[in-house]
Structure 1
């Protein structure tokens, strides 16, 4: 970039272009939402069959196009705003130098050199003549270090010689003109650096000329995100970062204090981090986490395809019992294939969970199912998946379901469906808005034995659970007027108990199902009102009784919630075993009694819950009845 170009440059034009891309991104976002929430949902609601399923696939691809467009437009807008920011800084330097030149009656030429008039004491009877001087960017603090002079010693010497020449020049205007020319050169150099940095980066922000957003496109989008994030560091330095370790209320206040451009930049450049912040609106977390999901899912699919192409030969070698001499009948798979199979499983299993999340997105509208909100996602470790049915910010009743042992991203499909069944059951009981959330937001014990015998997993999850609930209450538009129910299964009940021991649980009701122990010995210790702890223990649930309880939470509490001494409302059930509490007959659109009672609690219809008296029969009791009086 030269002086004339920078002089005529208008940084606002880049900002205007950024606004145009932001509008385009907003249009793409709205189109995606319309496809998912209206077109697809409407089809799912009124039509069924293979043709509908195929149409949904095509609409999903179209929605993916709009989502990709939205992400790329946000990156382009952020890049253009960064260009404007850097060029404006250079332009300000240039304009200030030109003004100073005019004030001293110097002339700035088209090549950036500065001419100065004759001045000074006469020499040999003549006033020292004027002239022109070309500046240098030497000494510009924004200038990259010369690789052959990394310490800038040569530049320092050059500047010292320049100052000596100025001080000894007969014309005092020479030194002043040279200083201004250097400032001009530095401004031009700064603008040139911005141009050289952003021109190639902006050229990268384009998609393939086709109608399919392939896995490669999403991987490229993540690379683009990294490039823009590094380039926009100076631009974003003026934007306040989220509070480190902030509370949900602090996170919410930070978000509200950002401008629209700053919000767009954070969503575009930090989707994974932003999606984890409790207290932010569910729609914001959903947008950020869907981007993280799309990019991660693409990465995993490409890795899986690569592994499948490179599958080692499945050699089988025959060994004797000592592993020495090959003999007939004894076979051992090669170690190379075992390593390949292990690596493949570590990729394929989390992908099942990501596909389950996408499948839930695609089911929006099916039997009236509302839009899903992805409020948490990560593929690290055992993974995270927090998925809401309906927007919890707008809900009058919110239920958070916490699964137990074995819960992970890989195994999330069943738990996601339980959240769906909870929504269908509870929403059918009220005209108010209901949101049910599957919360796989902690590292659950991988196996029943010995992992579930430890309370460490619950202790580690307690703070995360508390933060999430606080975030729901902060973001909910009804605030403290919304009704929140904690629903937990198996080891998940232990998590609730551990969270209650940390302080304010932040919920109105607690529902346990198949609990092996909740870390507390009395319902009164669960930090909810008297009579607002509910428990289900189904016939044949061996993980609550006898050896099952002690292999699935031994020592977690001395009294399990199914014991009348615990003080919970013991709800009747009609399901069997440890995993049937959320059974729902889709063909008849009929919930089991077990999940129906959970729904009654979720919507606050306590007097419709049938409780168990001590003699084993069923009895309808008002919710305010003292649990200790059962059978009296």
Structure 2
């Protein structure tokens, strides 16, 4: 009974402190945004040259790629104009079309909070205004780069906080820019493509949102493969590492890097079921170290990825400050991240 009491106390502590990047206010339960974006019904009812359009909910990205490869430029442009939200979020569709479609979709919302995403030069690969909003942005030339990295962020990230000016190296876009600065031959993707937890509450201590996010991440990486992009490196921060842990076996990632992680829903790196190299980093002042690495009655995310028993490769992070400083210029962690991103380490 005493052991059960200790376990319950540990689980309660996990609920209290497992979080992504934000403060200590209690978070509300979030409804995971899944499935195709608004406009899917009109898309399904449409056709081109008498051909049915691929189902945005179920068509594999490779099938989507083959469909667009069989269209002429006029037909492709017509679909972008008629169905920007669907084309912009359709994994397997040509990259340039998705960028164009999302500029249209962002502008069509008429919302000032999204206006900067439509600025010239921005390459928005996915945009979904439902809920708190989701956005995926590319930094670099995804069509020609030899290497691709994907940043998977933790809590309190959405379409409006994705590129917040107050977080130059800590938000998804800030992390992507920081990595891109030291890896010019790498395309870096800030993937705010799932519903993240908000604040500190039940959502951060359970796997519900991570499970929904993992399915979206796996489909996204299949979409990269369908358009000929290189196999990606996944950089997974905080609750984002839970997402990556669940998705790893269903992606073709070459490397999975967990940093500031509360656990990856696996007892060891081998249990992730991936052929990717698994890496882990935790700075000396990262409060995530105080989170109990437990799983009990659905609470908690399991073993500490930085523990020797987990079996991940070590990323030095002795000069990292706090929970979000891993991409700060000049840190050893960023230098090693760059080497991993460029495929320089084996």
Would you say the 8 A contact 1:239–1:262 is kept in 2? no
Residue aligned with 2:233, SS: strand
Aligned partners of 2:134 and 2:291: how far apart in 1? 32
Residue aligned with 2:180, SS: helix
Query: Within 5 A, what are the aligned runs for 1:202-221?
Result: none
Would you say the 8 A contact 2:151–2:234 is kept in 1? yes
Aligned partners of 2:338 and 2:256: how far apart in 1? 12
Aligned partners of 1:235 and 1:403: how far apart in 2? 37
Runs of 4+ in 1 over 6 A off after TM superposition: none
Q: Is 1:400 matched up with 2:212?
A: no
Query: Within 5 A, what are the aligned runs for 1:532-547?
Result: 532-546=277-291
Would you say the 8 A contact 2:246–2:272 is kept in 1? no
Aligned partners of 2:93 and 2:214: how far apart in 1? 20
Would you say the 8 A contact 2:79–2:87 is kept in 1? yes
CA shift in 2, pair 1:558/1:525, >3 Å: same
Residue aligned with 1:438, SS: strand
Per-residue CA distance 1:558-586 (angstroms, 9 max, x = gap): 311011100011111111110101112xx
Aligned to 1:524: 270
CA shift in 2, pair 1:412/1:234, >3 Å: closer
Aligned to 2:53: 241
Would you say the 8 A contact 1:395–1:476 is kept in 2? no
Aligned residues: CA RMSD: 2.5
Q: Is 1:440 matched up with 2:185?
A: no
Per-residue CA distance 1:528-554 (angstroms, 9 max, x = gap): 437x1111100111123345x679xx8
Decide which of 256, 269, 280 is 1:510's aligned counterpart. Answer: 256
Scaled by the length of structure 2, the TM-score of the pair is: 0.79
Aligned partners of 2:77 and 2:116: how far apart in 1? 28
Residue aligned with 1:374, SS: strand
Aligned to 1:411: 161
Query: Within 5 A, what are the aligned runs for 1:220-619?
Result: 236=48, 238-244=50-56, 245-296=58-109, 298=110, 300-301=111-112, 351=113, 354-358=114-118, 361=119, 372-413=122-163, 414-427=171-184, 433-476=185-228, 482-500=230-248, 503-529=249-275, 532-546=277-291, 555-573=299-317, 574-584=319-329, 591-606=330-345
Aligned partners of 1:401 and 1:593: how far apart in 2? 18
Structure 1 unpaired stretches of 5+: 1-225, 302-350, 363-370, 428-432, 585-590, 607-622, 624-632
Higher relative contact order (CA 8 A, sep 6+): 2
CA shift in 2, pair 1:486/1:258, >3 Å: same
Would you say the 8 A contact 1:494–1:556 is kept in 2? no
Structure with bigger gyration radius: 1
Task: Give the paired residue count.
Answer: 295
Aligned to 2:7: none
Would you say the 8 A contact 1:391–1:435 is kept in 2? yes
Greater fraction helix? 1
Would you say the 8 A contact 2:68–2:94 is kept in 1? no
State the shift of 1:555 in Å.
3.7
Aligned partners of 1:266 and 1:469: how far apart in 2? 23
State the shift of 1:409 in Å.
1.1
CA shift in 2, pair 1:356/1:452, >3 Å: farther
Per-residue CA distance 1:302-341 (angstroms, 9 max, x = gap): xxxxxxxxxxxxxxxxxxxxxxxxxxxxxxxxxxxxxxxx
Query: Within 5 A, what are the aligned runs for 1:20-99?
Result: none
CA shift in 2, pair 1:274/1:235, >3 Å: closer
Would you say the 8 A contact 2:139–2:187 is kept in 1? yes
Would you say the 8 A contact 1:518–1:556 is kept in 2? no
Aligned partners of 2:308 and 2:324: how far apart in 1? 22
Would you say the 8 A contact 1:404–1:491 is kept in 2? yes
State the shift of 1:357 in Å.
2.9
Scaled by the length of structure 1, the TM-score of the pair is: 0.44
Structure 2 unpaired stretches of 5+: 1-38, 164-170
Aligned to 1:80: none
Residue aligned with 1:538, SS: coil
